[in-house]
Amino acid sequence: MSASFQIVFSPISARLPFLLSNELKLSPTFTGLYLSIASAAMASGLFLSSRLISSGSSQKTLWLGWTTMCTGLVCMLLQQLFGVACIVAGVIFVQSALGFIIVPCTGDTLSSFPFPNRGKASGLFGFVNAIVSGLSVAFAGAFNITNAAAAIALTATSLILIAALLMAHPNKKGWTSPPP
Distance CA 54, CA 40 (A): 22
Cβ atoms 26, 20 nearer than 8 A: yes
Cβ atoms 50, 107 nearer than 8 A: no
What's the mean pLDDT when you consider all of the chain?
Answer: 83
Quick one: 120 exposed, middle or buried, by C-beta within 10 A (0-12, 13-18, 19+)? exposed
Distance CA 57, CA 4 (A): 20
Confidence check: pLDDT of 175 > 60: no
Write down all domains in the chain, each with its CATH number in brackets.
2-168 (1.20.1250.20)
Cβ atoms 77, 156 nearer than 8 A: no
Q: Please give the single-letter amino acid code of residue 30.
A: F
pLDDT, tens digit, for every residue of 147-166?
777 878 888 888 888 888 77
pLDDT at 148: 74
State the DSSP string of 141-153: HHS---HHHHHHH
pLDDT, tens digit, for every residue of 61-108?
888 888 998 998 889 888 878 887 888 888 889 889 888 888 888 888
Cβ atoms 17, 35 nearer than 8 A: yes
Cα dihedral 118, 120, 126, 129, rounded to 10, equals: -100
